Amino acid sequence: MLIHNAKLITWGEPNEILEDGSLLIEDDIITELGTSAEMLETYPQAERIDAGGQYVMPGNICAHTHFYGAFARGMAIPGRAPRDFPEILRKLWWPLDQSLTLEDVRYSALVSLVDAIKHGTTTLIDHHASPNAIDGSLDVIADAVEQAGLRAVLCYEVTDRGGEEKAQAGIRENIRFLQRMKDANASNGRIAATFGLHASLTLSESTLEACREAVPKGVGFHIHVAEHEADEYDSLEKSGERVVDRLHKHGILGVNSIAAHAVHVDAREVELLKETETWVTHQPRSNMNNAVGAARVDSMMRTGVHMGLGNDGFMNAMWEEWKTAYLLHKVANRDPRRFPGDLLVEMAVYNNAELAASFFPGVSIGVLENGARADLIFVDYHATTPLTSGNLPWHIVFGFHESMITTTIVAGRVLMRNRELQTLDEEEITAKSRELAKQVWERYVTYVPAD
Protein backbone atom coordinates (compact mmCIF):
# COMPACT_ATOMS: atom_id res chain seq x y z
CA MET A 1 0.00 0.00 0.00
CA LEU A 2 1.37 3.38 -1.02
CA ILE A 3 0.22 6.46 0.89
CA HIS A 4 1.02 9.64 -1.01
CA ASN A 5 0.26 13.36 -1.01
CA ALA A 6 0.84 13.47 2.75
CA LYS A 7 2.64 15.74 5.17
CA LEU A 8 4.54 13.10 7.12
CA ILE A 9 5.21 13.75 10.80
CA THR A 10 7.75 11.06 11.58
CA TRP A 11 8.19 11.36 15.37
CA GLY A 12 11.74 10.23 14.66
CA GLU A 13 14.61 11.58 16.72
CA PRO A 14 14.86 14.37 15.79
CA ASN A 15 11.30 14.75 14.61
CA GLU A 16 10.89 15.65 10.94
CA ILE A 17 7.97 16.87 8.86
CA LEU A 18 8.22 15.79 5.21
CA GLU A 19 6.04 17.95 2.95
CA ASP A 20 4.47 16.09 0.03
CA GLY A 21 5.66 12.81 1.50
CA SER A 22 4.80 9.24 0.73
CA LEU A 23 5.28 5.93 2.46
CA LEU A 24 5.14 2.34 1.38
CA ILE A 25 3.60 -0.34 3.60
CA GLU A 26 4.25 -4.03 2.99
CA ASP A 27 2.18 -6.33 5.18
CA ASP A 28 2.34 -4.70 8.61
CA ILE A 29 5.61 -2.79 8.16
CA ILE A 30 6.61 0.59 6.73
CA THR A 31 9.28 -0.27 4.18
CA GLU A 32 10.09 3.06 2.56
CA LEU A 33 9.61 6.82 2.93
CA GLY A 34 10.10 9.36 0.17
CA THR A 35 8.52 12.17 -1.79
CA SER A 36 5.22 11.48 -3.53
CA ALA A 37 6.69 12.00 -7.01
CA GLU A 38 9.56 9.55 -6.46
CA MET A 39 7.49 6.89 -4.81
CA LEU A 40 4.65 7.00 -7.36
CA GLU A 41 7.21 6.56 -10.09
CA THR A 42 9.06 3.72 -8.33
CA TYR A 43 5.91 1.81 -7.33
CA PRO A 44 3.37 2.35 -10.12
CA GLN A 45 1.58 -0.93 -9.35
CA ALA A 46 1.07 -0.39 -5.61
CA GLU A 47 -2.42 0.05 -4.21
CA ARG A 48 -2.67 3.78 -3.50
CA ILE A 49 -4.19 5.91 -0.80
CA ASP A 50 -4.19 9.64 -1.54
CA ALA A 51 -3.91 11.44 1.81
CA GLY A 52 -5.14 14.64 0.16
CA GLY A 53 -2.43 16.74 1.78
CA GLN A 54 -3.38 15.69 5.32
CA TYR A 55 -0.84 15.15 8.06
CA VAL A 56 0.06 11.47 8.38
CA MET A 57 1.69 10.50 11.65
CA PRO A 58 2.12 7.54 14.00
CA GLY A 59 -1.03 6.56 15.89
CA ASN A 60 -1.23 7.58 19.54
CA ILE A 61 -0.39 5.14 22.33
CA CYS A 62 -2.19 4.81 25.67
CA ALA A 63 0.02 3.48 28.46
CA HIS A 64 -2.73 2.68 30.99
CA THR A 65 -6.47 2.23 30.51
CA HIS A 66 -9.51 0.23 31.68
CA PHE A 67 -11.91 -0.92 28.97
CA TYR A 68 -14.14 -2.39 31.69
CA GLY A 69 -15.08 1.07 32.96
CA ALA A 70 -16.96 2.01 29.78
CA PHE A 71 -20.42 1.50 31.28
CA ALA A 72 -19.73 4.04 34.04
CA ARG A 73 -20.50 6.87 31.62
CA GLY A 74 -23.59 8.68 32.93
CA MET A 75 -24.16 6.22 35.77
CA ALA A 76 -25.57 7.65 39.01
CA ILE A 77 -23.88 6.80 42.31
CA PRO A 78 -26.61 6.28 44.94
CA GLY A 79 -26.51 8.08 48.30
CA ARG A 80 -24.16 10.93 49.08
CA ALA A 81 -21.34 11.73 46.70
CA PRO A 82 -18.01 9.99 47.44
CA ARG A 83 -15.80 12.36 49.40
CA ASP A 84 -12.41 10.96 48.37
CA PHE A 85 -10.73 8.35 46.19
CA PRO A 86 -11.15 5.39 48.60
CA GLU A 87 -14.90 6.13 48.62
CA ILE A 88 -14.91 6.37 44.82
CA LEU A 89 -13.43 2.86 44.74
CA ARG A 90 -15.94 1.50 47.25
CA LYS A 91 -19.02 3.21 45.84
CA LEU A 92 -18.25 3.29 42.10
CA TRP A 93 -15.56 1.00 40.70
CA TRP A 94 -15.80 -2.02 42.97
CA PRO A 95 -19.57 -2.42 42.76
CA LEU A 96 -19.36 -1.74 39.01
CA ASP A 97 -16.71 -4.34 38.21
CA GLN A 98 -18.66 -6.93 40.26
CA SER A 99 -21.67 -6.31 38.02
CA LEU A 100 -19.93 -7.34 34.80
CA THR A 101 -20.63 -10.58 32.96
CA LEU A 102 -18.42 -11.85 30.15
CA GLU A 103 -20.80 -10.32 27.62
CA ASP A 104 -20.49 -6.94 29.38
CA VAL A 105 -16.71 -7.36 29.28
CA ARG A 106 -16.92 -7.91 25.51
CA TYR A 107 -19.07 -4.86 24.86
CA SER A 108 -17.23 -2.54 27.24
CA ALA A 109 -14.09 -3.49 25.29
CA LEU A 110 -15.79 -3.04 21.91
CA VAL A 111 -17.10 0.44 22.72
CA SER A 112 -13.64 1.43 23.97
CA LEU A 113 -12.09 0.09 20.77
CA VAL A 114 -14.55 1.98 18.53
CA ASP A 115 -13.61 5.09 20.50
CA ALA A 116 -9.88 4.34 20.08
CA ILE A 117 -10.09 3.84 16.31
CA LYS A 118 -12.12 7.03 15.84
CA HIS A 119 -9.71 9.03 17.98
CA GLY A 120 -6.49 7.61 16.58
CA THR A 121 -5.25 5.61 19.56
CA THR A 122 -3.67 2.57 17.97
CA THR A 123 -1.99 0.82 20.93
CA LEU A 124 -3.66 0.43 24.33
CA ILE A 125 -2.30 -1.08 27.54
CA ASP A 126 -5.39 -2.31 29.37
CA HIS A 127 -5.90 -3.31 33.01
CA HIS A 128 -9.00 -5.45 33.47
CA ALA A 129 -11.29 -6.35 36.40
CA SER A 130 -14.51 -8.39 36.41
CA PRO A 131 -14.46 -10.36 39.70
CA ASN A 132 -17.65 -12.31 38.93
CA ALA A 133 -16.44 -13.24 35.44
CA ILE A 134 -12.71 -13.83 35.76
CA ASP A 135 -12.03 -17.06 33.85
CA GLY A 136 -11.66 -16.41 30.16
CA SER A 137 -12.20 -12.64 30.49
CA LEU A 138 -8.88 -11.87 28.79
CA ASP A 139 -9.82 -14.12 25.85
CA VAL A 140 -13.05 -12.18 25.45
CA ILE A 141 -11.14 -8.88 25.37
CA ALA A 142 -8.54 -10.36 23.02
CA ASP A 143 -11.35 -11.43 20.64
CA ALA A 144 -12.69 -7.87 20.62
CA VAL A 145 -9.21 -6.47 19.96
CA GLU A 146 -8.70 -8.99 17.14
CA GLN A 147 -11.99 -7.96 15.60
CA ALA A 148 -11.16 -4.25 15.92
CA GLY A 149 -7.67 -4.68 14.47
CA LEU A 150 -5.98 -2.53 17.12
CA ARG A 151 -2.85 -3.31 19.12
CA ALA A 152 -3.22 -4.03 22.84
CA VAL A 153 -1.49 -5.35 25.94
CA LEU A 154 -3.85 -7.13 28.34
CA CYS A 155 -3.81 -8.27 31.97
CA TYR A 156 -6.22 -9.17 34.78
CA GLU A 157 -5.97 -7.25 38.08
CA VAL A 158 -5.29 -9.63 40.97
CA THR A 159 -6.74 -8.40 44.28
CA ASP A 160 -7.69 -9.77 47.70
CA ARG A 161 -10.86 -7.75 47.94
CA GLY A 162 -13.02 -10.70 46.80
CA GLY A 163 -11.29 -13.28 49.04
CA GLU A 164 -8.59 -15.86 48.43
CA GLU A 165 -10.40 -17.91 45.80
CA LYS A 166 -10.86 -14.90 43.51
CA ALA A 167 -7.27 -13.81 44.06
CA GLN A 168 -6.18 -17.28 42.89
CA ALA A 169 -8.55 -17.10 39.92
CA GLY A 170 -6.99 -13.77 38.95
CA ILE A 171 -3.51 -15.27 39.10
CA ARG A 172 -4.64 -18.22 36.98
CA GLU A 173 -6.22 -15.94 34.39
CA ASN A 174 -3.00 -13.92 33.97
CA ILE A 175 -0.83 -17.03 33.74
CA ARG A 176 -3.17 -18.80 31.33
CA PHE A 177 -3.36 -15.79 29.04
CA LEU A 178 0.40 -15.14 29.19
CA GLN A 179 0.93 -18.77 28.13
CA ARG A 180 -1.66 -18.47 25.36
CA MET A 181 0.04 -15.39 23.95
CA LYS A 182 3.41 -17.12 24.16
CA ASP A 183 2.09 -20.21 22.38
CA ALA A 184 0.50 -18.06 19.70
CA ASN A 185 3.92 -16.57 19.04
CA ALA A 186 2.32 -13.25 19.85
CA SER A 187 5.46 -11.27 19.15
CA ASN A 188 4.30 -11.22 15.53
CA GLY A 189 0.75 -10.40 16.52
CA ARG A 190 -1.06 -7.36 17.78
CA ILE A 191 -1.91 -8.63 21.26
CA ALA A 192 0.49 -9.10 24.15
CA ALA A 193 0.07 -9.92 27.83
CA THR A 194 1.45 -8.80 31.16
CA PHE A 195 0.57 -9.65 34.79
CA GLY A 196 -2.01 -7.39 36.45
CA LEU A 197 -2.22 -6.41 40.11
CA HIS A 198 -4.79 -4.00 41.51
CA ALA A 199 -2.82 -1.94 44.05
CA SER A 200 -0.80 -2.50 47.20
CA LEU A 201 -3.83 -1.54 49.31
CA THR A 202 -5.84 -4.60 48.24
CA LEU A 203 -2.96 -7.09 48.16
CA SER A 204 -1.72 -9.10 51.14
CA GLU A 205 1.88 -10.15 51.65
CA SER A 206 1.02 -13.73 50.76
CA THR A 207 -0.83 -12.80 47.54
CA LEU A 208 2.08 -10.61 46.39
CA GLU A 209 4.36 -13.55 47.09
CA ALA A 210 2.11 -15.93 45.14
CA CYS A 211 2.08 -13.55 42.15
CA ARG A 212 5.86 -13.24 42.18
CA GLU A 213 6.17 -17.02 42.24
CA ALA A 214 3.63 -17.49 39.45
CA VAL A 215 4.97 -14.94 36.97
CA PRO A 216 7.16 -16.33 34.17
CA LYS A 217 10.70 -15.02 33.81
CA GLY A 218 10.96 -11.80 31.83
CA VAL A 219 7.32 -10.82 32.44
CA GLY A 220 6.56 -7.73 34.51
CA PHE A 221 3.55 -6.41 36.39
CA HIS A 222 0.99 -3.67 35.74
CA ILE A 223 -0.19 -2.12 39.03
CA HIS A 224 -1.62 1.11 40.50
CA VAL A 225 0.90 2.77 42.81
CA ALA A 226 0.27 5.53 45.38
CA GLU A 227 -2.68 6.94 43.49
CA HIS A 228 -4.01 8.31 46.80
CA GLU A 229 -2.42 8.67 50.25
CA ALA A 230 -4.53 5.71 51.39
CA ASP A 231 -2.24 3.34 49.46
CA GLU A 232 0.77 4.62 51.42
CA TYR A 233 -1.01 4.51 54.81
CA ASP A 234 -2.21 0.97 54.15
CA SER A 235 1.24 -0.20 53.10
CA LEU A 236 2.89 1.33 56.17
CA GLU A 237 0.33 -0.36 58.37
CA LYS A 238 0.62 -3.75 56.66
CA SER A 239 4.36 -3.93 56.18
CA GLY A 240 6.02 -0.97 57.88
CA GLU A 241 7.17 0.15 54.44
CA ARG A 242 6.01 2.63 51.85
CA VAL A 243 4.31 1.24 48.71
CA VAL A 244 7.25 1.29 46.31
CA ASP A 245 9.60 -0.19 48.94
CA ARG A 246 7.05 -2.91 49.64
CA LEU A 247 6.61 -3.78 45.97
CA HIS A 248 10.38 -3.74 45.47
CA LYS A 249 10.81 -6.20 48.34
CA HIS A 250 8.34 -8.52 46.60
CA GLY A 251 10.13 -8.30 43.23
CA ILE A 252 7.24 -6.50 41.53
CA LEU A 253 9.28 -3.60 40.08
CA GLY A 254 11.59 -3.67 37.07
CA VAL A 255 12.06 -2.73 33.46
CA ASN A 256 8.99 -4.73 32.35
CA SER A 257 6.69 -3.38 35.05
CA ILE A 258 4.23 -0.46 34.93
CA ALA A 259 3.35 1.56 38.03
CA ALA A 260 0.33 3.72 37.27
CA HIS A 261 0.01 7.19 38.88
CA ALA A 262 2.75 7.52 41.58
CA VAL A 263 1.06 10.69 42.85
CA HIS A 264 2.03 10.24 46.51
CA VAL A 265 5.47 8.62 46.30
CA ASP A 266 8.26 10.17 48.37
CA ALA A 267 11.83 10.98 47.26
CA ARG A 268 13.20 7.50 48.07
CA GLU A 269 10.35 5.83 46.21
CA VAL A 270 11.12 7.97 43.15
CA GLU A 271 14.74 6.84 43.42
CA LEU A 272 13.67 3.20 43.62
CA LEU A 273 11.43 3.57 40.56
CA LYS A 274 14.39 5.03 38.71
CA GLU A 275 16.92 2.44 39.93
CA THR A 276 14.66 -0.46 38.98
CA GLU A 277 13.79 1.22 35.62
CA THR A 278 10.09 0.70 36.36
CA TRP A 279 7.70 2.49 34.01
CA VAL A 280 5.50 5.10 35.67
CA THR A 281 2.37 6.22 33.85
CA HIS A 282 0.63 9.55 34.28
CA GLN A 283 -3.17 9.98 33.93
CA PRO A 284 -3.96 13.64 34.65
CA ARG A 285 -7.68 13.57 33.70
CA SER A 286 -8.28 10.74 36.15
CA ASN A 287 -6.12 12.35 38.86
CA MET A 288 -8.07 15.59 38.56
CA ASN A 289 -11.44 13.82 38.48
CA ASN A 290 -10.59 11.80 41.60
CA ALA A 291 -9.01 14.83 43.25
CA VAL A 292 -5.97 12.78 44.24
CA GLY A 293 -3.39 15.48 43.46
CA ALA A 294 -0.82 16.21 40.79
CA ALA A 295 2.08 13.79 40.35
CA ARG A 296 5.47 15.51 40.31
CA VAL A 297 6.09 14.63 36.69
CA ASP A 298 8.77 17.24 35.91
CA SER A 299 10.80 16.14 38.95
CA MET A 300 10.37 12.42 38.28
CA MET A 301 11.43 12.81 34.65
CA ARG A 302 14.38 14.98 35.68
CA THR A 303 15.40 12.26 38.14
CA GLY A 304 15.39 9.80 35.24
CA VAL A 305 12.18 7.87 35.90
CA HIS A 306 10.72 6.42 32.68
CA MET A 307 7.30 8.00 32.37
CA GLY A 308 4.47 7.32 29.93
CA LEU A 309 1.01 8.82 29.44
CA GLY A 310 -2.20 6.84 29.91
CA ASN A 311 -5.89 7.74 30.17
CA ASP A 312 -7.17 5.51 33.00
CA GLY A 313 -10.38 4.73 31.10
CA PHE A 314 -11.18 8.28 29.99
CA MET A 315 -11.94 8.71 26.27
CA ASN A 316 -9.28 7.18 24.06
CA ALA A 317 -8.49 10.63 22.77
CA MET A 318 -4.88 11.03 23.82
CA TRP A 319 -4.47 14.65 22.78
CA GLU A 320 -7.12 15.46 25.39
CA GLU A 321 -4.81 13.83 27.90
CA TRP A 322 -1.85 15.84 26.51
CA LYS A 323 -3.78 19.07 26.95
CA THR A 324 -4.83 18.21 30.48
CA ALA A 325 -1.26 17.32 31.45
CA TYR A 326 0.02 20.50 29.82
CA LEU A 327 -2.39 22.63 31.86
CA LEU A 328 -2.50 20.72 35.16
CA HIS A 329 1.15 21.08 36.10
CA LYS A 330 1.16 24.78 35.41
CA VAL A 331 -1.73 25.53 37.74
CA ALA A 332 -0.70 22.93 40.34
CA ASN A 333 2.75 24.57 40.63
CA ARG A 334 1.60 28.14 39.91
CA ASP A 335 4.39 28.21 37.32
CA PRO A 336 3.67 28.51 33.56
CA ARG A 337 7.07 27.02 32.75
CA ARG A 338 6.11 23.61 34.13
CA PHE A 339 5.62 20.64 31.85
CA PRO A 340 6.42 22.36 28.53
CA GLY A 341 5.44 20.86 25.18
CA ASP A 342 8.79 19.21 24.51
CA LEU A 343 8.70 17.35 27.85
CA LEU A 344 5.12 16.35 27.09
CA VAL A 345 6.27 14.88 23.75
CA GLU A 346 9.07 13.01 25.49
CA MET A 347 6.47 11.37 27.74
CA ALA A 348 3.54 10.88 25.37
CA VAL A 349 5.40 10.10 22.16
CA TYR A 350 8.91 8.76 22.69
CA ASN A 351 8.45 7.08 26.06
CA ASN A 352 5.05 5.60 25.16
CA ALA A 353 6.56 4.24 21.95
CA GLU A 354 9.42 2.62 23.85
CA LEU A 355 7.02 1.12 26.39
CA ALA A 356 4.71 -0.24 23.66
CA ALA A 357 7.62 -1.66 21.68
CA SER A 358 8.84 -3.52 24.76
CA PHE A 359 5.71 -5.70 24.53
CA PHE A 360 6.11 -6.27 20.77
CA PRO A 361 9.86 -6.74 20.58
CA GLY A 362 12.07 -6.49 17.56
CA VAL A 363 10.21 -3.80 15.61
CA SER A 364 9.71 -0.15 16.51
CA ILE A 365 6.27 1.35 17.12
CA GLY A 366 5.16 4.99 17.15
CA VAL A 367 7.52 6.26 14.46
CA LEU A 368 7.41 6.59 10.68
CA GLU A 369 10.66 5.01 9.51
CA ASN A 370 11.79 2.08 7.40
CA GLY A 371 11.10 -1.15 9.26
CA ALA A 372 8.65 0.31 11.80
CA ARG A 373 5.18 -1.10 12.44
CA ALA A 374 2.60 0.51 10.15
CA ASP A 375 0.34 2.06 12.82
CA LEU A 376 -0.68 5.50 11.63
CA ILE A 377 -3.35 8.17 11.44
CA PHE A 378 -4.37 10.89 8.99
CA VAL A 379 -5.08 14.29 10.53
CA ASP A 380 -7.02 16.94 8.62
CA TYR A 381 -5.34 19.93 10.27
CA HIS A 382 -4.86 23.23 8.50
CA ALA A 383 -2.27 25.29 10.32
CA THR A 384 -3.14 28.98 10.55
CA THR A 385 0.41 29.83 11.67
CA PRO A 386 3.75 28.34 10.57
CA LEU A 387 4.06 24.72 11.69
CA THR A 388 7.53 23.22 12.08
CA SER A 389 8.95 20.11 13.71
CA GLY A 390 10.08 22.42 16.54
CA ASN A 391 6.72 23.98 17.38
CA LEU A 392 4.56 20.94 16.58
CA PRO A 393 3.93 20.07 20.28
CA TRP A 394 2.27 23.47 20.78
CA HIS A 395 0.21 23.09 17.60
CA ILE A 396 -1.03 19.79 18.99
CA VAL A 397 -1.86 21.26 22.41
CA PHE A 398 -3.55 24.39 21.06
CA GLY A 399 -4.78 23.32 17.62
CA PHE A 400 -5.13 19.57 17.05
CA HIS A 401 -8.31 17.73 17.90
CA GLU A 402 -9.19 14.05 17.61
CA SER A 403 -12.21 14.93 15.46
CA MET A 404 -9.68 15.88 12.76
CA ILE A 405 -8.54 12.26 12.50
CA THR A 406 -10.01 10.80 9.32
CA THR A 407 -8.13 7.54 8.80
CA THR A 408 -6.62 5.00 11.19
CA ILE A 409 -4.29 2.20 10.09
CA VAL A 410 -2.86 -0.52 12.36
CA ALA A 411 -0.38 -3.16 11.24
CA GLY A 412 -0.94 -2.05 7.66
CA ARG A 413 -4.71 -2.61 7.84
CA VAL A 414 -7.15 0.26 7.39
CA LEU A 415 -9.48 0.35 10.42
CA MET A 416 -11.11 3.68 9.57
CA ARG A 417 -11.14 5.36 6.17
CA ASN A 418 -12.50 8.90 5.72
CA ARG A 419 -14.14 8.60 9.15
CA GLU A 420 -15.88 5.31 8.26
CA LEU A 421 -15.09 2.35 10.46
CA GLN A 422 -14.00 -0.67 8.46
CA THR A 423 -13.79 -3.43 11.08
CA LEU A 424 -16.44 -2.69 13.71
CA ASP A 425 -20.16 -1.99 13.38
CA GLU A 426 -20.54 1.07 15.57
CA GLU A 427 -24.31 1.20 15.38
CA GLU A 428 -24.74 -2.41 16.47
CA ILE A 429 -22.11 -2.09 19.22
CA THR A 430 -23.52 1.10 20.72
CA ALA A 431 -27.11 -0.18 20.63
CA LYS A 432 -26.11 -3.40 22.38
CA SER A 433 -23.92 -1.47 24.82
CA ARG A 434 -26.81 0.79 25.87
CA GLU A 435 -28.95 -2.26 26.51
CA LEU A 436 -26.26 -4.09 28.51
CA ALA A 437 -25.26 -0.97 30.44
CA LYS A 438 -28.84 -0.58 31.67
CA GLN A 439 -28.72 -4.10 33.13
CA VAL A 440 -25.25 -3.49 34.60
CA TRP A 441 -26.54 -0.33 36.31
CA GLU A 442 -29.39 -2.34 37.86
CA ARG A 443 -26.98 -4.94 39.25
CA TYR A 444 -24.50 -2.23 40.30
CA VAL A 445 -26.85 -0.61 42.83
CA THR A 446 -27.25 -3.95 44.59
CA TYR A 447 -23.48 -4.03 45.24
CA VAL A 448 -23.10 -0.43 46.45
CA PRO A 449 -22.46 -0.40 50.22
CA ALA A 450 -24.87 1.62 52.37
CA ASP A 451 -23.62 5.10 53.37
CB 90 within 8 A of CB 439: no
- Smallest CA-to-CA distance from 198 within 223, 175, 233 is with 223
- The least distance separating Zn ion from the CB of residue 126, rounded to whole angstroms, comes to 10
Nearer residue to Zn ion within complex by CB, 283 or 407: 283
Kindly tell me which of 104 and 312 has the beta carbon lying closer to Zn ion.
312
Instruction: Give residues with Cβ within 8 angstroms of 291, minimum separation 6.
Output: 84, 85
Cβ 49 to Zn ion shortest distance, Å: 36
Q: How far is the CB of 224 from Zn ion (least distance, A)?
A: 5
Which residue number, 312 or 375, has a Cβ lying nearer to Zn ion? 312
State the nearest-atom distance from the C-beta of 127 to Zn ion, in Å: 6
Question: Least distance to Zn ion from the beta carbon of 354, Å?
Answer: 20
Residue 95 CB, nearest approach to Zn ion (Å): 17
Task: Closer to Zn ion by CB, 28 or 312: give it.
Answer: 312
Q: How far is the CB of 201 from Zn ion (least distance, A)?
A: 13
- Of 300 and 424, CB closest to Zn ion: 300
Q: What is the 3-state secondary structure (H, E, C) of the chain?
A: CEEEEEEEECCCCCCCEEEEEEEEEECCEEEEEEEHHHHHHHCCCCCEEECCCCEEEECEEEEEECHHHHHHCCCCCCCCCCCCHHHHHHHHHHHHHHCCCHHHHHHHHHHHHHHHHHCCEEEEEECECCCCCCCCHHHHHHHHHHHHCCEEEECEEECCCCCHHHHHHHHHHHHHHHHHHHHCCHHHCCEEECEEEEEHHHCCHHHHHHHHHHCCCCCCEEEEECCCHHHHHHHHHHHCCCHHHHHHHCCCCCCCCEEEECCCCCHHHHHHHHHCCCEEEECHHHHHHCCCCCCCHHHHHHHCCEEEECCCCCCCCHHHHHHHHHHHHHHHHCCCCCCCHHHHHHHHHHHHHHHHHHHCCCCCCCCCCCCCECCEEEECCCCCCCCCCCCHHHHHHHCCCHHHEEEEEECCEEEEECCEECCCCHHHHHHHHHHHHHHHHHHHHHHCCCC
Residue with smaller CB distance to Zn ion, 97 or 312: 312
Nearest distance in Å: CB 313, Zn ion? 7
Q: How far is the CB of 18 from Zn ion (least distance, A)?
A: 37
Closest residue to Zn ion, based on beta-carbon distance: 312
Alpha-carbon distance values, 431 to 110, 360, 427 (Å): 12, 34, 6
- Of 23 and 292, which has the nearer Cβ to Zn ion? 292
Minimum distance, C-beta of residue 103 to Zn ion, in the bound complex (Å): 23
Contacts with Zn ion, residue ranges (CB under 5 A):
312
Q: Which is nearer to Zn ion, 97 or 269 (CB)?
A: 97
Among candidates 100, 139, 141, which has minimal Cα distance to 124?
Answer: 141
